[in-house]
Amino acid sequence: MHPRSVLAIARKDAIDMLLNKSTLTLLIMPIVLAFLFLFVSKLVGGHVTNIVVYNPGQSRLVQVVSGTFDPMKVTEVNSPADVMAAFGPNGSKKDSAYDVGLVIPANFESTLQTGGHPQVGFYINENNVDPHLAQLLQAAIISYARQLASPQPPLALSTVTINPPAISNFGQVTGNTYGAIVLLISFMTGTSLMPGLLIEEKEKKTLRMLMVTPASFTDVVLGKLLVTLVYQLVLSLLALAIMGSFIGQVPLLLLYTLLGSCFSLALGLLFGGIFSTASTAGMVGGFLSLIYVVPALFIGPLGALFGNSAFGQAMKFVPTYYIADGAYNAIQNEGSLNGHLFDIGVVLGCTLALLAITSWVLRRQASVAAAI
Amino acid sequence: MEGRTVMATNDLMIEAIDLRRTFKNREAVAGVSFSVRRGEIFGLLGPNGAGKTTTIRMLTGQIVPTAGRATVAGCDVVKDHQRLKERIGVVPEDQNLYERLSARNNLNFSCWLYNLPESRAEEVLELVHLRERAKEPVRTFSNGMKQRLMIARALLHRPPMLFLDEPSRGLDPISAREVRGAIEELSREGVTILLTTHLLEEADQLCQRVAFITQGRIVANDTPRNLKLAHGQRTMVASLNGQAANGNGSGSFTEITLRMDNPDDQARLAQLMAEGKVQSVHSQEATLEEVFIEIAGVRPA
């Protein structure tokens, strides 16, 4: 291997890919899709949080709570009974128009400051508010009270929760699922670009020119892998950034992004070795891009619904399922260590197996080419 | 004695000894031996499928010979493969430039591969008169311009040995003349050139020595002049006035061809001249193509 030749080939291809309309389209596609999914995600998850408050003393506590939500709408009512009626008893199931309710006594702040213990009613509809967020809101209310009457426990907070979660915080979860799906779809780029780069050198007979320069065939392959990996990583990270998916376990998410990119390139390299025309490789690559789309549909909420079906079980034989699963769990900050190790192991193993097969195919081709 | 032999060997840029290459059961090159001296333009001539390109591919290290050995620019084509690549330039038969890239970027890429400064690309662009079009994508170039750019690319790292495989293939007469001009210029600068062509007129014009190759074997190897003298027939063309030629007094004239080495033809010419019937006489040398047909028994293309 000659690093100078590898870098030269990567540099040339980096320019050439931007001048080629078809590769440029492939490069732009994940970004366009990310924006499309973001739009859909906003449509699905763009829920306006309705807050109902009884706040006769115009307490600033309402701003503390409402400031957590965007977008939100605050409705003021005239009595605590109106708030109670909107939610119903604790633990009940009710189709409420409101997501959060507050009953704040008059003179809330002044009562706290004079050492009193005012009682605040806090109502949560867990159909639309995640339990973790509800806990955070409770902590925010207590924290606000402590600012006014530190250090004693200043207020009595009574919490009423309705509609305990079946699928909680649907919008957020859906957004995270879309993040993982977009990441998976972005990997199609590497699988589609890589064979074209290699096959074009053969088709246009430029490979023959390269073989009489200091570059070796290994340098050519490595140069192409390098440039595609860089583009692939940039695109995947951009797609994740657009989807706002850099949350949860970010280092783990980055690891899945790197592993997924390597898997995508290994598969693309195999196509580049097997097929002799760019059109055939493109056709097969297009069909096989389903392995990036379909498994991604069996993670997150949809996975919970359909994961146990025969088709859902069959997806577990597709390596990309484990990229999607791992990435989704990393974004959601979920998954056990063993689960992540298993996902990483499967993806890494499959990538290495693909590279080994590709290496055998390319070596065989080189020996056949020399014999004819 | 030994010292003289070493000097002679050092003077050789190519030395091929019994070079053979078999593809499956077909012997494409069946024992080729020849040498090319430093600074020489050497032509490997023959019809399509004669083994020219296979010979070049062996000499440039692209394929390994089945048997025999060869050194090019002091490098064994099998053992010194990597060093050989630094010492040769190759212009292949097919145009293989990066069409979307500009002429400058095509050459810059080669500069990166050979670790040369990009200013070298500007120098060779000037050399092949393409500096004005350096920024334009190669796909907008004519065939002649592309061919010149390929020559420029092959010269970028200043190789002492240049291989040109059918350099005028597919070019219009003007472009072909431009390319021939570039080759002559390179030869004047001391670059050794091995070119293959089936255009024997081109070879005659450019090459100091030529080898005829057919069915994988070299059947002749000499200077074009010696080959023509040895195998061609020298002729004279005499223009006779019309009356003399056809007796109708029309005033037109007729040309007759006479073999210079044939006593009967010599006598006939002398008689015609004595009778005052000859308007003009000019000698005509055999063409390289005629010699090729005479030696190889087939047409070169």
Q: Are residues A319 and A265 part of one domain?
A: yes
- Please write the tens of the pLDDT for every residue from B175-217: 788 888 888 888 888 899 999 988 888 889 899 999 999 889 9
ipTM over 0.85: no
Q: Are residues A224 and A122 part of one domain?
A: no
pLDDT for B245 equals: 47
**Hey, is the C-beta of B88 within 8 angstroms of any chain A C-beta?**
yes
Among B188, B170, B254, B196, which Cα is nearest to B57's?
B196
Best mutation target, A206, A207, A219, A372, to test chain B (most B CBs within 10 A): A206
Amino acid at A330: A
pLDDT for A181 equals: 83
pLDDT band at A152; cut points 50, 70, 90: low
Q: Which DSSP symbol is given to B147?
A: H
- Please write the tens of the pLDDT for every residue from B32-49: 999 999 999 999 998 888
Q: What residues contact A305, with CB distance under 8 A and at least 6 apart?
A: none
Q: Are residues A20 and A119 part of one domain?
A: no
Q: Is the peptide bond before A71 cis (omega within 30 degrees of 0)?
A: yes
Q: What domain range includes position A114?
A: 48-127+131-162
Q: Are residues A97 and A35 part of one domain?
A: no
Residue A142 sits in a domain whose CATH number is: 3.40.1710.10
- Please write the tens of the pLDDT for every residue from A241-285: 888 888 878 899 999 999 999 999 999 888 888 888 878 887 787
A78 vs A175, higher pLDDT:
A78
Q: For Cα atoms A220, A223, A226, give the angle at the middle one, nearest 5 degrees.
A: 150
d(CA A197, CA A88): 64
Both tokens assigned to A191: 């699988």
pLDDT band at A165; cut points 50, 70, 90: low
Cβ of B105 and A206 within 8 Å? no
d(CA A348, CA A123): 47
Average pLDDT along chain A = 83
Q: What 3-state DSSP class applies to B130?
A: coil
Q: What residues contact B121, with CB distance under 8 A and at least 6 apart?
A: B104, B107, B108, B110, B111, B156
Q: Are residues A69 and A32 part of one domain?
A: no
Residues above pLDDT 70, as percent of chain A:
87
Q: Are residues A254 and A151 part of one domain?
A: no
Q: Is A62's pLDDT higher than 70?
A: yes
* Size of the A and B interface in Cβ pairs below 8 Å: 66
pLDDT for A257 equals: 93
Domain boundary pick from A140, A162, A184: A162
Domain boundary pick from A109, A142, A162: A162
Q: Is A308's pLDDT higher than 80?
A: no
- Which of A11, A208, A210 lies nearest to residue B112, judging by beta carbons? A11
Task: Spell out which residues of chain B touch residue A20, defining contact as CB-CB under 8 Å.
Answer: 100
Q: Is A170's pLDDT higher than 60?
A: no
Q: What 3-state DSSP class applies to B90?
A: strand
pLDDT tens-place values along chain B, 301 residues long: 333 333 345 689 999 999 999 988 888 999 999 999 999 999 999 888 889 989 999 999 988 999 999 999 999 999 998 899 999 999 988 888 999 999 999 999 999 999 999 999 999 998 888 999 999 999 999 888 898 899 899 989 989 999 998 888 777 888 788 888 888 888 888 899 999 988 888 889 899 999 999 889 999 899 998 888 887 677 788 888 765 444 444 556 688 888 877 888 888 888 888 888 888 888 777 788 888 888 877 666 5
A122 vs A297, higher pLDDT:
A122
Q: Are residues A351 and A240 part of one domain?
A: yes
Q: What number is the average pLDDT over the span A356-362?
A: 89
Q: Are A136 and A68 contacting, i.e. CB atoms less than 8 angstroms apart?
A: yes
Q: Are A47 and A26 contacting, i.e. CB atoms less than 8 angstroms apart?
A: no
pLDDT for B4 equals: 36
Q: Are residues A217 and A80 part of one domain?
A: no
- How near does any CA of chain A get to the CA of B93, in Å? 10
- Please write the tens of the pLDDT for every residue from A199-247: 888 888 898 889 889 998 889 999 999 999 999 999 999 988 888 888 8
Q: What's the number of domains chain A is made of?
A: 2
pLDDT for B8 equals: 42
Task: Spell out which residues of chain B touch residue A367, defining contact as CB-CB under 8 Å.
Answer: none
Q: Are residues A195 and A104 part of one domain?
A: no
A148 vs B88, higher pLDDT:
B88
Q: Are residues A178 and A100 part of one domain?
A: no
**Hey, is the C-beta of A20 within 8 angstroms of any chain B C-beta?**
yes
Q: Are residues A255 and A139 part of one domain?
A: no
Q: Are A68 and A21 contacting, i.e. CB atoms less than 8 angstroms apart?
A: no
Cβ of B101 and A205 within 8 Å? no
Task: Tell me which residues of chain A, numbers 197 to 226, contact chain B at a CB-CB cutoff of 8 Å.
Answer: 204-206, 208-215
Distance of CA B120 to the CA centre of its chain: 27
In what order do the strands lie in the sheet containing B209-214? B88-91, B161-165, B192-197, B41-45, B209-214, B217-222
**Hey, is the C-beta of A366 within 8 angstroms of any chain B C-beta?**
no
Cβ of B24 and A370 within 8 Å? no
Compute how many other C-beta atoms are within 10 angstroms of the C-beta atom of residue A249. 18
Q: Are residues A176 and A32 part of one domain?
A: yes
